[in-house]
Chain A
Amino acid sequence: MFEGTSPFSDSVDATFLSIVGISALVLLGILAFMIYFLVRYSRKRNPHPENIEGNVALEVAWTAIPLVLFMGMFYVGWKGYLDETTIPDNAVPIKVTAQMWAWSFEYPNGVRADTLYVPVHTPMKILLHSVDVNHSFFIPSFRIKRDVFPNRETVMWFKTTEVAEYDIACAEYCGLRHSYMYNKVVSMDSVRFEGWYKKASIDQSKPYRALGDLSQ
């Protein structure tokens, strides 16, 4: 579940797990107090209650402490998000077209593919648009997604950290075969990638220029 495969995976997981950790501690605290009070002040043990109407110091404390914690969580989430939207200048632009119910990819020289082949360690700039309804481009392992619309282009980026294959899913409900709208990102070492890219360019009679040159 927690394999770091994009520049964002580790930081998203760390943010998530730290909020889970804090939450678990607070929840345990709430449970502990609750159970202790239920046992200690049961009607049998404590037939006479005490009517404590409140305590301003406590109210201030349990307003201020969550406030500080929440602002911390907000800040970490915001920082992580900025990394996801700050696209490196040398990123290779790939046009992604979504339609019911498939993805297709277009490389800078016009080469088209049904699978997203990418060279490892290379930043890719993903330009998304749809020809019909809303979709959402979701790569769970990379911890990123972006909605896809018919009337505007949306953008995201990633780079892979190892040679492997990852699932692409559609995360915005788009009708009958929404759940079959799976595809793959295939991350290859640059030699194998250029081999594939050159062959695809020749097959589709597009001018070939190494992607590595583009991203310099």
Chain B
Amino acid sequence: MATSVVLAGAEPDFYHTVTKRKGILSWILTTDHKRIGILYLGTILVFFHAAVVLGFLMRLEMLKPEGALVEPQTYNTFFTLHGIIMIFLFVIPIVPAVFGNFFLPLMIGAKDVFFPRLNLFSWWLFIAGGILALTSVFLPGGAADTGWTFYVPYSIRTTTNVIPALLAAFILGFSSILTGLNFITTIHRMRAPGMTWFKMPLFVWASYATSWIQVLATPIIGITLLLVIIERLFGVGIFDPTLGGDPVLFQHMFWMYSHPAVYIIILPAMGVVSEIIPVFARRTIFGYNFIAYSSLAIAFFGSLVWAHHMFTVGMSDTGMFVFSLLTFLVSIPSAIKIFNWVATLYKGSIDLDVPLLFVLSFIVQFSIGGFTGLMLGALSVNIHVTDTYFVVGHFHYVMFGGTGFGFFAALHYWYPKMFGRMYNKGAAKIAWLLSTIGFNILYIPFLILGYAGMPRRYYHYLPQFQTLHVVATVGSWILVLGLGIMFVNLFLALRNGAKTSANPWGGETLEWTTPSPPPLENFDEIPVVTKGPYDYSKYEKAAQEVA
């Protein structure tokens, strides 16, 4: 993009806007939602790749029952860091902070978010949290070894750097709250004239529901983590039984946030899927209202099921009954979305291009994540498989197979708009194929291992589990190869990709009416919206005959 020619008279794109500040300062002090989106993308990708390397090393470690690579303590810090980075620095922020920031204002016909400076502040908090998480690894005492769930009393007892890690998660939570607040306000106040609630693109609906969860649920984890810090520093008994506290209370408070966080993670990716399918099927979405309302239903019911992570703590029968029942109910809106997406392919005019390929992987893998969720929701089965590799397999199907692939889809879909260039589609398809195959070879064995009784967070395992562990590790190599090709391809295209037009896919939402990349304030004139977001009637036969 460094070489793009600015046409005489036309406004320069946002990379070439003449700003007060020069160089790096024009980025890290920017209030332009698009630059902030790019900042997030760059920084999150660094964290993502670091956590992928950790995951890759963990899989190497599992090649042999007695461990193949590192010491037990090192392995314990690996899965802790892998979890903390992937959850708090990748899957939670990736879609809202990158694509929400970049595209939400564009999709509703706004010039920026409602609080641009708060937006920049969110990114700074994010960086502060990220740097703190990374420095905790190198401080004396060593990286935290509690698992990303920080269960008390172990997290009170261990001598590793738990406090910096908790503080990091606390700060990252604030970043998430402020982003949510900003999006809610933006969606309420800055929609272009004519864009009623039910003319909003479904990505905006998904972002709206997500933002509410971010604002309402994140403070709970903030307080909980802060209480653990207070307990560690001052010996106040809240969760630690030796001080008169209750460890189960910690689990309740932890999951009261961390279950809704699953929906912070998955809803925006579902929004991406709802955007991509109509564009490549060249027809309107099937069941717009049902998809929009199901996002709200997920946000609401999702806040009532947290204790399904704790079915083995010895809860009352009433508790078990209610939390299991609600867990089954909350899966219905997700099922509705899947059926509507598939139905959107019916009588479309489908172009099986790169973004749609990633969406298809999303649908299948997220479905498997959902089905394994049903197995976990059934109480008698849950008692057996909770805290085993089955759970690990299940949530990787949702978080990685779902949100991870949703992110890849979003990146390949919006790449030309963000960077004004197109990547090599052949290489992108190879990357899609390898990452999809590798992902499934990696995580299907997890489900089987878990049911066979392999507990999670095990440095060492019984010899009968070795074959499946080796298969999973081979899967991780294929997956990493796919990811490598994907990101090298995208990186090279920044410089060498062919220039693209404003609307290379033929999308109907407002971001495609701006140049690629868009200018500083997106629209010369704020558009007036008169039709729904997925109006492809011009391609219909009747329309063609009239013309």
Interface residues of A (CB under 8 A from B): 1, 8, 11-12, 15-16, 19-20, 23, 26-27, 30-31, 33-34, 37-38, 41-43, 46-55, 58-59, 62-63, 66-67, 70-71, 73-74, 76-85, 132-134, 136, 138, 140-141, 143-147, 149-152, 154-155, 167, 169-180, 182
Contact = CB atoms under 8 A, between A and B. Distances in A.
A146 B314 contact: yes
B253 to A, nearest CB: 15
Contacts of B313: 147, 149, 154
A149 to B, nearest CB: 6
Contacts, number: 271
Given A74-B325, A80-B379, A179-B72, 19 more contacts: A15-B380, A15-B381, A19-B375, A41-B348, A46-B349, A67-B332, A70-B374, A78-B320, A79-B380, A134-B153, A141-B453, A145-B384, A145-B387, A146-B314, A150-B153, A151-B247, A152-B314, A173-B457, A176-B73
A46 B321 contact: no
Interface stretch (B21-29, B400-408, B535-543): B535-543
Interface in B353-394: 360, 363-364, 367-368, 371-372, 374-375, 377-384, 386-388
Contact of B286 (A54, A167, A169): A54
A133 B381 contact: no
B4 interface: no
B119 interface: no
Nearest to A62: B339
| Chain B interface main SS type | helix
A85 B336 contact: no
B417 interface: no
Contact of A74 (B246, B286, B287, B377): B377
Contacts of A174: 154
A200 B384 CA distance: 32
5 shortest interchain CB distances as A-B pairs: A140-B453, A80-B380, A77-B378, A151-B241, A23-B371
B452 A33 contact: no
B227 interface: no
Contact of A8 (B380, B451, B459, B539): B380
A173 B147 contact: yes
A138 B454 CA distance: 10
A20 B375 CA distance: 8
Given A1-B451, A15-B378, A42-B350, A132 B157 contact: yes
Interface stretch (B7-15, B32-40, B277-285): B277-285
21 contacts: A1-B452, A19-B374, A23-B375, A30-B367, A34-B345, A38-B352, A38-B360, A41-B281, A42-B350, A49-B282, A50-B347, A52-B286, A63-B332, A70-B329, A77-B381, A81-B320, A84-B380, A134-B151, A136-B387, A140-B453, A178-B459
A78 B158 CA distance: 37
Contacts of A82: 317
B328 interface: yes
A26 to B, nearest CB: 7
A175 B342 contact: no
A16 B147 CA distance: 28
A49 B349 contact: yes
B539 A71 contact: no
Contacts of A54: 286-290, 340
A170 B371 contact: no
Nearest to A178: B457
Contact of B350 (A20, A23, A41): A41
A171 B457 CA distance: 9
B40 to A, nearest CB: 31
Contact of B314 (A78, A79, A154, A182): A154
A134 B452 CA distance: 23
B211 interface: no
A132 B286 contact: no
Nearest to B540: A48
Contacts of B283: 49-52
Interface in B506-547: 535-537, 539-541, 544
B19 interface: no
Nearest to B537: A51
B189 interface: no
Interface in B238-271: 241-242, 246-248
Nearest to B461: A179
Contacts of B246: 151
A27 B371 contact: yes
A81 B317 CA distance: 9
B331 interface: yes
Nearest to B532: A53
Contacts of A146: 312, 314, 383
Contact of A143 (B242, B351, B364, B384): B384
B336 A84 contact: no
A126 to B, nearest CB: 12
A176 B146 CA distance: 10
A144 B154 CA distance: 23
A133 B387 contact: no
